[in-house]
Every structure is written in C-alpha cells, then in structure tokens.
Chains A and B, each alone.
Chain A
Amino acid sequence: MELLLSSLDILARWDVALALLVGSVGGVVIGAIPGVGPAVAIAILLPATFSMDPIVGLTVLLGIYGSSMYGGSIPAVLINTPGTAVNALTTYDGYPMTARGEPRRALSLAYSSSFFGGIFSVICLILFAPVLARVAPMFGSREIFLAALLGIILVVVAHRGQSLIAGALAGFGIWLQSIGMEPVKYTQRYTFDQPFLQGGVNLIVVVLGLFALSQAFVLLTSDDEKIRMTRLRGPLFQGLRELARHPRVATVSASFGVMMGMIPGVGEFTAQFMSYTYAQRTSKRPQDFGNGASEGLIAAETSNNAVPAAAMVPLLALGIPGEALTAMMLSVFYVHNVVPGPQLFQSRMDFVVALYLALLILNVLVMIFLLSATGLLVKVVKIPNRFLGVCVLTLSFVGVYSLRNSVSDCVMAAGFGVLGYILKRLSWPIVPIILGMVLGGIMEVKLRAGMARVKTPWDFIDRPIAFILFFVIIIVLAVHARHVWQDRKALKEAEWKSRHRSTSFGARLLRRRKFLLKERGKVVRGRRKMLSRQSTELY
C-alpha cells in the first residue's frame, strides 16, 4: 500500500498529467493515420523528451506506444487498412463487419477488447512486480548476456522464411554499435580516420533514419488513395456488453499478450497469431473467422494491446529491450542516468509501479477519448499520403538536428533513410538492425564482465538462471533447425510434385521406341506411310 501511495505521489504532478493526456490523444491520432505509426512518432519525439523529467518523457512515449493500437483499429475496421502494423489481423474480421453494415459494432468491440487487454496486462504486471523484484537481482552479467543473446536469436528466428537475412541485419546492427572509440582499450574501430565517427554511430540517428525518414520517402514516392469512408452513427458502448459474452477468449488472448510481451523479440504478432488460432479452434462457429467473427476481433485486439505493458518487463527488470520501440525508450533512461536493470527494481520500485499506473490511467483516458471523439478522428484517415510524407520529413528534421545540431548526424540519418526505404521495398526486416545495435552493446559489456571469473566454459552456466537461459537458447535453436528442415522437405516434395516428365533426349527416344513397338504404333505408322505415298503420287 505504501508503495502504491509513493507511486501515486510521483504521478500527482501537472506535467505528468499533461504528458498522459498528450501521449494518449497523440498516440490515438498517430495510430489512426495509416503510414505513420508509433515508431515514427517516438523516433521524432525522442530528442524532445530529453529535456523533460524521466517520468514525464517516458509517460509521453509510453502513451504513444500504448494508445496507437487503439487508433490503428479505426482505419483497419473502416477502410481495410491497418493504422499500425499490428492491426493487420483486425482487418480480417473488422472490415467484413463494416462491409455488412456494422461498423459501429466492430469499432466498439475493437475499443472494448483493446481496453480489456491493456487493463488486464497492467494489473497482471502490478501484481507480478514483487516477484520480479525478487527475481531480477539474480541476474548477473552472464545472465543478462544470455538473455540479450536469446533476444537476438528470437528476433532472428521470428522472421520465418527470412531468418538468414534477419541474422545478417542483426550482425549489421552489432557492427554499427562497435564503430568508434572502444571504451576499455581506447582503440579506434572502423572510424576510417574520420573525426565524426570517433564518437560512434548514435542509435537515435539510426532509428530516425530507418523509421522516420524512410517512411517519409515511402510516402513521398507513393500515390494518394481515394478513401471511401463509412458513416458512423450512434454510441459506441455496446462493445463492452458483447465482450462480456466472451470472457474466455478475452482472458486467454490477454494472457498470451502478457506472456509474449515479456519475451524479448517476440511481441504482438506472435501473441495475436496464437490468440486468433486459439479463438478459432475453440469457437463453435470457426467458419465465421475472417468473415466478421466477433471472437476473432476480440482475440486480435485484446492480445496486441496487452503487449506494451508486458514489453516493459525485460526493459525495466533487465535493461533488455525486446523490440524497436522499447529500444528507443532505453535511450531516454540512459539520458537521465536512470539505468534500467535489477538495481532499478530494488532501489526505485515506486518509479516502476508509477510507470505501470501511468499505463493504467492512460488506457482509461484513451477509452474516454475514443468514445467521445471517434467521429472527428475518422477524418485524419483522409490525409493524403504525399502530404503526410512532407509532414514526416519536416518533423524528422526536429528529431535529428535537435540531438546535437550536427550536419553529419543529418547526413547519416538521410543515408539510413535511403537504406530503410530500400529494405522496406524489398520487405527485409528493419527491427533486427535496431536490436542488434542495442543488444550488441549490452552483450559486449556483459560478456567482458561475465568472463572475468570464468575459467572453464561450464563455469559460464553454472548458476541456475544462466543454465535455464542457455537451455532455452538451445531449445529455440533446435526448434528453428527443425522448422528449417521441415520447410526444406516440404519444398522438395512440392517441387517433385510439380515437376514435369523428363524431357531429356535419351528418355524421349526410349518412349518413342516403346510407342513404335506397340500395336497402336504400328497402325499409326501404316496410316502415315499410306498418306505419304498418296501425297507423293500427287507430284
């Protein structure tokens, strides 16, 4: 109780209240605009939050992160275009509902499910915080190294069908973070004798280039789409009632969201996939999924909104971000000398709980805002793509230039923007680069510290948590190897089935010989012989 009061005391400030309001409303608006998304917004706002208090800056960013998915469901339901990438599954059942004349029902159900997911995850984590506080100190350098390694491996294997290139891009991130002056032996690494590279490559410059500038380029080179909007009439409260009729699907989906959110590198997509599959398998009408099933919409929206709060667990408890957005937030902690990790849970538990309470309040604020302002919000979906590109390019300047007022930072960001644009055109993943940069830095420091007392390789995993993490890494790699082998086998089988009869010359001659020796062949030969005789007689 004392902890809760001291956490509330941290939040009871006008600037935190304003940050909550701006974060929640801003997040919903950004989420509702297809083509922007929370990553772009957070990347742009990041340097602006450096001058704020840690709790204020983090509340704004958390607000955008937590509420963008609410807003993202609006275009997903109304125009079949997800506002943020994680709302893609919402279109499966949300848009068919709109198509059959029930947009209000679909939106209210999406809001209610998101609200339930958000609240469920925050309550779970507040209850779970004391356990985390007890477990977190058991993580030493070796355990954090292994957890970061597990995070990178999970990010790579999560890109099924692209794991090779995801691994190569994670390697690119690891190499990028190593550029500059090495902090222990004070030697230069890949600076090419250029003074601007001695300080290393700034994470925020890379993030702004790969997310914000590349998205501006994508929008500027795309065409404007004509959007036909469905009109919304009446209140949006009915979704809560409908949600109450499916408590099992909602609770299981939210639990999947919490569990997947806590594992670094997994995130919303896996949670959604698992929840949707579960809802479909246990439904009495599985054939309705993809055609406007309310359970499908509940599964998709509940699970994705349960992730943001849970994703803060590895970040706060171990200092390991599980995805690009939490990686960006890590830099806010570092700027304010608040080092996330086991010590944070021991020394500043009130700060951690205050962040969770902020998320709780945020969900309530977003719900109130959406129930009252959806009619107005629908209009932002209509902003033309290329004009949006102009806006994102202008805002990206604020993010990059205000960091250090450095032109070389801007050149680098523009370079990474072009790279990000190419990667997006090729459908190559961008997140492994960011996680490679962040987790590569953590792994370098922790491995060096962890190896100080290690004499034999076995010593590295002689502690229980280190051994569990090592065991999990082996299992993940084994499962991935099995998947790769199965995919390869399936490909071979498919290739074998679709292969035509051999057209090699020898086989063709054999078939011809067989044909000619058969009775039917003899008849055909005789007829042709007769025909040719007749034709020669003509001349």
Chain B
Amino acid sequence: MATERERRFVGPRRGQLIFAIFFFAVSALLLALIGSETQWVKKTKLVAQPRFWPAVGLGLMTVLSAIHLCRLPWRRITRYDWREARKWLSVLEFAGWFMGYVLLVPVIGYLPVTLVFVPLLSWRMGYRGGRMLGLAALFALAVVVVFKSFLAVKIPGGAAYEYLPDGLRSLFILYF
C-alpha cells in the first residue's frame, strides 16, 4: 500500500530514483571540476569572478538535488524503474533518425532527403497505407517549399546538386 509520502509525491514513481541519482552525480562531478574548468582572477571582486556564476548554478544543482534525493519516498530501484530507463533509451532511435537526416541534407540536398525521410519515418511508425504515405510526401514537399523556397531559411544546397544540369543547378541550390 502506498504511504502518505508516496501519495503526495508530484509525478509518477517509475524512474524517479534513477534520474535523481544521475542528476545529483552529474552535478557533483561538474562541481568537483570547477577548479580546472574555471579560473579565479586576482584583484577582482567575488561577483565579477569568472567562477562565480558557474558556482552558483552548480551549487544550486548539487545542494537542491541532494535534498530532493534524500526526501524521495523510495530507497530501492525496482524493475519498473529499469523498465522506465529502457523506455528513455528507446528514444535514441528517433534521435538517430534525426541525426541521419541532419547528416544527409548537406550531401544529397534538402528536397530529396525530406521527400524520402518523412514517408520512410511514417512507414516506420506504422502508417503503411497509400493515403498516409501520400500525405507524408505532400507534407515533406510543403515544408521545403514554405521554408526554403518562400521564407529562404539558411539551409545549404546539397553537394549532389553539383551534378545537375546548369539551368537546374542554381534553381535547386537556391530554392530546394
């Protein structure tokens, strides 16, 4: 049965202890590195020291996360905590998709990569019907037209555009 302390806790139980320990450990480690990662300048007031604000930030992180950890109503990591940690790691797949997209755009070009990326990820997410894949391709085209062609955001043309015929090359580099 849940105790009164557990009932009053804001947020779910799963994963709290693991992340609180991780956050405290990282904060303490960074605070321990303050001597080597910042400098103390002579003949300078305390508040003007380059070390002052990192110390304030890391001090707050370490002290408050330590108190939070002490006040957590749980002391043991259960299998639900580990299952939650595995769930956190599962999003690394989508972070990988994002980074793949980032790395391919300067090589192949914004329009072709987006036209493949959006339907492919939609297919991966389970939308395998023609209608949804068509909508995904339409969305991809709309994004490129709105942002690159119309709003002219700074996305460089792909290296592969160099192999296009003269007339198309500059058009693709500028607008797609």
Using CB atoms and an 8 Å cutoff, list the residues of chain A in contact with chain B: 47-48, 51, 161-162, 164-165, 167-168, 170-178, 182, 184-185, 187-192, 213, 216-217, 220-221, 384, 386-387, 389-391, 393-398, 400-403, 405, 407, 410-411, 414-415, 417-418, 421-422, 425-428, 436, 440, 443-444, 447-448, 451, 491, 494-495, 498
List residues of chain B with CB within 8 A of the CB of A176. Answer: 57
* Option from A175, A386, A403, A491 in Cβ contact (under 8 Å) with B8: A491
List residues of chain A with CB within 8 A of the CB of B164. Answer: none
Contact B102 A407 (CB under 8 A): yes
Give Cα A175–Cα B132 distance, bound, in whole angstroms: 44
Instruction: Give the 4 A-B CB pairs with smallest separation, nearest first.
Output: A171-B60, A175-B57, A427-B11, A174-B57
> Chain B: interface residue count, which band?
35 or more
Given known contacts A410-B102, A494-B4, is B47 in contact with A447 (CB within 8 Å)? yes
Contact B88 A393 (CB under 8 A): no
Give Cα A491–Cα B156 distance, bound, in whole angstroms: 59
Q: How far is the CB of B130 from chain A (nearest CB, A)?
A: 14
User: Which residue of A is nearest B101, CB measured?
Assistant: A397
Which DSSP category, helix, strand, loop or mixed, fits chain B's interface? helix
CB 8 Å contact bits of B45-68 with A (1 = contact, 0 = none): 101101101101111110011011
Interface residues of B in 113-128 (CB under 8 A from A): 114, 117-118, 121-122, 125-127
Give Cα A248–Cα B27 distance, bound, in whole angstroms: 50
Contact A398 B64 (CB under 8 A): no
Instruction: Specify which of A178, A384, A451, A498 lies most central, judged by the most chain B CB atoms within 10 Å of its CB.
Output: A178
Contact B57 A171 (CB under 8 A): yes
Q: Say if the beta carbon of B12 comes within 8 Å of chain A.
A: yes
* Option from B64, B121, B153 in Cβ contact (under 8 Å) with A165: B64
List residues of chain A with CB within 8 A of the CB of B140. Answer: 394
Q: What are 5 inter-chain pairs, A to B, with CB distance below 8 A?
A: A165-B64, A175-B61, A178-B54, A185-B50, A418-B95
Using CB atoms and an 8 Å cutoff, list the residues of chain B in contact with chain A: 3-5, 8-12, 15-16, 19, 23, 27, 30, 33, 37-39, 41, 44-45, 47-48, 50-51, 53-54, 56-61, 64-65, 67-68, 71, 84, 87-88, 90-92, 94-95, 97-99, 101-103, 105-106, 114, 117-118, 121-122, 125-127, 132, 135-136, 139-140, 143, 147, 151-156
Given known contacts A161-B10, A387-B132, A394-B114, is B64 in contact with A171 (CB within 8 Å)? yes
List residues of chain B with CB within 8 A of the CB of A448. Answer: 47-48
Contact A221 B91 (CB under 8 A): yes
Give Cα A186–Cα B143 distance, bound, in whole angstroms: 41
Instruction: Specify which of A185, A396, A414 lies most central, judged by the most chain B CB atoms within 10 Å of its CB.
Output: A414
Contact B155 A185 (CB under 8 A): no
Q: How far is the CB of A451 from chain B (nearest CB, A)?
A: 5
List residues of chain B with CB within 8 A of the CB of A161. Answer: 8-10
* Option from A221, A398, A400, A498 in Cβ contact (under 8 Å) with B4: A498
Given known contacts A407-B102, A440-B53, is B94 in contact with A171 (CB within 8 Å)? no
Contact A398 B38 (CB under 8 A): no
Instruction: Specify which of A51, A173, A217, A407 lies most central, judged by the most chain B CB atoms within 10 Å of its CB.
Output: A217
Contact A168 B64 (CB under 8 A): yes
List residues of chain B with CB within 8 A of the CB of A177. Answer: 53
* Option from B41, B48, B58 in Cβ contact (under 8 Å) with A175: B58
List residues of chain B with CB within 8 A of the CB of A444. Answer: 53
Q: How far is the CB of B52 from chain A (nearest CB, A)?
A: 8
List residues of chain A with CB within 8 A of the CB of B84. Answer: 425
Given known contacts A161-B8, A171-B58, is B143 in contact with A394 (CB within 8 Å)? yes
